[in-house]
């Protein structure tokens, strides 16, 4: 495993990290096995949230991490009533502090490594979060030593051009941001990464496989072509060859589509690429991507040529 500096936090994080959004409720024993395989592979960074599986992600992660204090955990407070793009804002400093305290209890820790405001989805709600006491409450938690570093994550389904992060990063208010980069949503490479480097903000990449389902996403050639077809149907890509051809992604070989998807992200100067996996076997497949030079220059430039015009996430 290779490690990278996570911006101004100075943390040395594994370039592949584990997204704990799924699996804890469905099969806790398998989730714990996967977490132990993750640690065994040298991964030292895990992303979770109070809202994942209604707190069970944190609870089962807390069990799995007993005796592994060295593993860095990022968790999140969601100031909305759901994950939907039209969710209502429900943030308050009291709820944020209570949520962080609950996260500490479930994770069995006395300090959170990173606390993020979860899924900040518009400029209006960013302003609200910054001014209604929520941001100040995060800073206070950091001052008290209950949280080491603070940040926000975006909601790329509703903000494919990253307006929120483009405004938030230069304020200097955040140590870390969580953002979507994958080869079917490349916009942040030009619009957010340079700002993060300029302001020394750590970057945690989410949805490297486009938060795939088995039907559509970067989990197989068939699913990737289905995602391309959906982009064509929505007018985000032209309805003509090569986009309509079954050979469209053959240039990624010898890598599989998911491996190429992870290699695409790792080929950029990001802190860590956070991927969700439910089993240790899946993890082993993804460890193949940790092998510079990731993708060749011709493959990177072909991906740019084909897909950099996409500015909306489609799943
Ligand atoms: N707004 C936010 O803050 C936000 C939003 C979304 C995600 N996140 C975080 O980012 C993490 C990653 O995002 P994500 O899980 O939504 O999306 P993702 O990592 O892009 O995709 C995860 C899916 O890809 C599958 N997969 C992984 N490796 C594979 C491989 N080698 N071959 C085939 N399929 C593979 C997984 O299948 P299995 O489950 O079957 O293993 C899972 O269904 C999350 O876990 C979460 O921690 C944050």
- Structure confidence at residue 213 (pLDDT): 86
pLDDT digits (tens, 9 = 90+) for 141-180: 999 999 999 999 999 999 999 999 999 999 999 999 999 9
| Average pLDDT estimate for 188-205 | 98
- Structure confidence at residue 306 (pLDDT): 98
Encoded tokens for 286: 């993804």
- Structure confidence at residue 214 (pLDDT): 86
Of all protein residues, the one whose alpha carbon is nearest to atom 15 of ligand 1 is: 276
Q: How many domains does the chain have?
A: 1
Pocket probe mutation, ligand 1, options 19, 20, 48, 151, max atoms within 8 Å of Cβ: 19
Least confident interval from 4-13, 141-150, 227-236, 284-293: 284-293
224 within domain boundaries: no
103 within domain boundaries: yes
What contacts 29, CB < 8 A, 6 or more positions away? Answer: none
Range of the domain at 146: 9-211+271-296
- If one counts every other C-beta atom within 10 angstroms of the C-beta of residue 180, the result is 27
CB 207 within 8 A of CB 19: no
Ligand 1 centre distance from Cα of residue 140 (Å): 32
163 within domain boundaries: yes
196 within domain boundaries: yes
Higher model confidence: residue 198 or residue 211? 198
pLDDT for 291 beyond 90: no
Write out the DSSP string of the chain: --EEE-GGG--EEESEEEE-SSSTTT-HHHHHHHHHHHHHTT--EEE--TTGGGGHHHHHHHHHTTT-TTSEEEEEE--BSSSSTTPPB---HHHHHHHHHHHHHHHT-SSEEEEEEEEE-SHHHHHHHHHSSHHHHHHHHHHTTSEEEEEEEE-TTT-TT-HHHHHHGGGT--SEEEEE-BTTB-HHHHHTHHHHHHHT-EEEEE-TT-S--SSSSTTSHHHHHHHHHHHHHTTSS-SSTTTT-TTTTGGGTTS-HHHHHHHHHHTSS-SEEEEE-SSHHHHHHHHTT--TT-S-HHHHHHHHHHHTT--S---
| Average pLDDT estimate for 33-47 | 98
Ligand 1 centre distance from Cα of residue 219 (Å): 10
Ligand 1 centre distance from Cα of residue 210 (Å): 8
69 within domain boundaries: yes
CATH code for the domain in which residue 138 is found: 3.20.20.100
pLDDT for 138 beyond 90: yes
pLDDT digits (tens, 9 = 90+) for 211-228: 888 899 999 999 999 999
pLDDT digits (tens, 9 = 90+) for 51-82: 999 999 999 999 999 999 999 999 999 999 99
155 within domain boundaries: yes
| Average pLDDT estimate for 80-92 | 94
Q: What is the residue-averaged pLDDT of the chain?
A: 97
- Structure confidence at residue 212 (pLDDT): 80
Q: What separation in angstroms does the CA of 171 have from each of 181, 191, 200, 274? A: 22, 15, 12, 25
């Amino acid at each position: 495993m290779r490690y990278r500096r996570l911006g101004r936090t100075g943390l040395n994080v594994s370039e592949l990290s584990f997204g704990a959004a799924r699996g804890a409720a469905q099969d806790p024993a398998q989730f714990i096995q996967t977490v132990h395989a993750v640690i065994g592979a040298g991964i030292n960074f895990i992303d979770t949230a109070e809202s994942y599986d209604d707190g069970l992600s944190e609870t089962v992660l807390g069990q799995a991490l007993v005796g592994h204090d060295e593993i860095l955990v990022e968790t999140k407070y969601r100031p909305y009533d759901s994950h939907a793009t039209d969710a209502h804002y429900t943030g308050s400093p009291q709820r944020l502090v209570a949520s962080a305290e609950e996260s500490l209890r479930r994770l069995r820790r006395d300090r959170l490594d990173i606390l993020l405001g979860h899924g900040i989805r518009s400029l209006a709600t960013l302003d609200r979060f910054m001014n209604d006491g929520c941001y100040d409450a995060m800073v206070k938690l950091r001052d008290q030593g209950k949280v080491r570093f603070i940040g926000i994550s975006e909601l790329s389904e509703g903000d494919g051009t990253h307006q929120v992060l483009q405004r938030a990063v230069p304020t200097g208010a955040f140590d870390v941001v969580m953002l979507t980069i994958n080869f079917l949503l490349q916009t942040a490479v030009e619009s957010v990464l340079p700002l993060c480097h300029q302001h020394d903000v750590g970057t945690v990449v989410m949805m490297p496989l486009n938060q795939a389902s088995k039907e559509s996403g970067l989990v197989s050639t068939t699913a990737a072509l289905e995602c391309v077809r959906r982009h064509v149907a929505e007018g985000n890509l032209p309805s003509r060859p090569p986009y309509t051809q079954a050979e469209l992604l053959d240039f990624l070989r010898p890598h599989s589509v998911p491996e190429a998807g992870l290699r695409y992200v790792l080929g950029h100067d990001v802190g860590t690429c956070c991927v969700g996996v439910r089993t240790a076997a899946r993890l082993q497949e993804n460890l193949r991507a940790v092998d510079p030079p990731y993708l060749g220059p011709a493959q990177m430039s072909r991906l740019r040529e084909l897909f950099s015009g996409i500015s909306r996430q489609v799943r």
